[in-house]
Amino acid sequence: MKYIDEYRDARLAKELLDQIRRTVTRRWHIMEICGGQTHSLVKNGILELLPPEVVMIHGPGCPVCVTPRHLIDKAVYLAEEEGVILCSFGDMVRVPGSRKSLSQAKAGGADVRIMYSPLEAVKLARRRPDREVVFFAVGFETTAPANALAVLTARKLGLKNFSLLVSHVLVPPAIRTLMDDPRTHIDGFLAAGHVCAITGYREYRPLARQYRIPITVTGFEPVDLLRGLLATVRQLEGGTHRVENAYSRVVREEGNLKALEIIRRVFRTGDRHWRGIGLIPDSGWHLRNEFADMDAEKKFRFPFADAGEDTACIAGEIMKGIKKPFDCPHFGSACTPRRPLGAPMVSSEGACAAYYRFRSLIKGLN
């Protein structure tokens, strides 16, 4: 398949690995922000093929993983107590809240529906004017254009029964929080290509300058990741710290201007709570005041306090790169994909899920 197979070429991957081995002279800690990149590194065996001097750290770039429990509790409440049709991407339905997951609510009779696009939820609201339809709008910058378009479409259609439960988070503020945490040790970043396809990468430059770290935009296939790692290692070895685009077939410096225009029409920047990490200032998008009638948190009343973190789950330390999944005493025993204690074990982009699914490829777990 064009633009896929050539980026899985074993010969080219081997050449890139050889170049990394020849270039690296000391230990470097490099964080891949995106959970999709984590899964690719694990399932393709790249973690075990890299020289020991290149230490990969898995970041918080899994939107399902960082969605706080109190928002899942609100989604469950809407489905069970308010009788809404709760629509969600598939990843979210099995993530545990403080009491239960959306999947468990559905098993108990709640109307929870998995959808691939928020526009499906808009169509449903149009077909069912007798029911409130809420779409659980979770994601990083990548999913924001579609969610914004759903709001604009619902407004154009004059729908009164459609709303979003929003949990949008942003990458650059998370990088700042990670670098300001004295417990982390990060020498460079691989930035998520699909995020930068929307936003571009200009806002990463101040971070590279302030923290004197290289940031390389890269994709998700083995060759993409290895090219990104080689570029990052070369910068580290050369003492440079700039933003480099190793995913130019998809990402432009300015991003997708049309998508950004739609996002800015619908969302404003504000503080956001990240599961396992805490409150990060200006790290999320919220619906603007003119769309308050489509904000589920304002449209409905929630008669309970926000739930705290699950102290048994060390997801925050894993997503900050302070610990690995196998450092958790519950990994693979009390916490499995069938019985997850936290979101990283159940999400398709979670580091714990990757280590569990591909544990035969990881030294020390096989």
Among 27-31, 84-88, 314-318, the range scoring the smallest mean pLDDT is: 314-318
Q: Is 21 exposed, middle or buried (0-12, 13-18, 19+ CB in 10 A)?
A: middle
Highest mean pLDDT: which range of 95-104, 121-130, 357-366: 121-130
Condensed to tens digits (0 to 9), the pLDDT of residues 8-25 reads: 889 999 999 999 999 999
365 pLDDT more than 70:
no
3-class state of residue 148 by DSSP: helix
Rounded CA separation 88/93 (Å): 7
Give the Cα separation of 286 and 295 in Å (integer): 9
Which residues in the chain are classed under CATH 3.40.50.11740? Answer: 1-302+310-324
338 pLDDT higher than 90 = no
pLDDT of residue 4: 72
Give the tens place of pLDDT for each residue, 71-124: 999 999 999 999 899 999 998 999 989 889 999 999 999 999 999 999 999 999
Q: What is the pLDDT of residue 2?
A: 64
**For residue 162, what is the DSSP state?**
E
Residue type, 176: R
What whole-number percentage of the chain has pLDDT above 90? Answer: 82
pTM: 0.93
In a 13 Å sphere around the CA of 233, the CA atoms on its Cβ side amount to: 26
d(CA 249, CA 252): 8
Q: Quick one: pLDDT at residue 342?
A: 84
Cβ–Cβ < 8 Å for 355, 325: yes
Better pLDDT: 158 or 91: 158
* The pLDDT of residue 8: 85
pLDDT of residue 366: 46
For the domain 1-302+310-324, what is the CATH superfamily, name and number? HypD, alpha/beta domain 2 (3.40.50.11740)
- Which pLDDT belongs to residue 1? 53
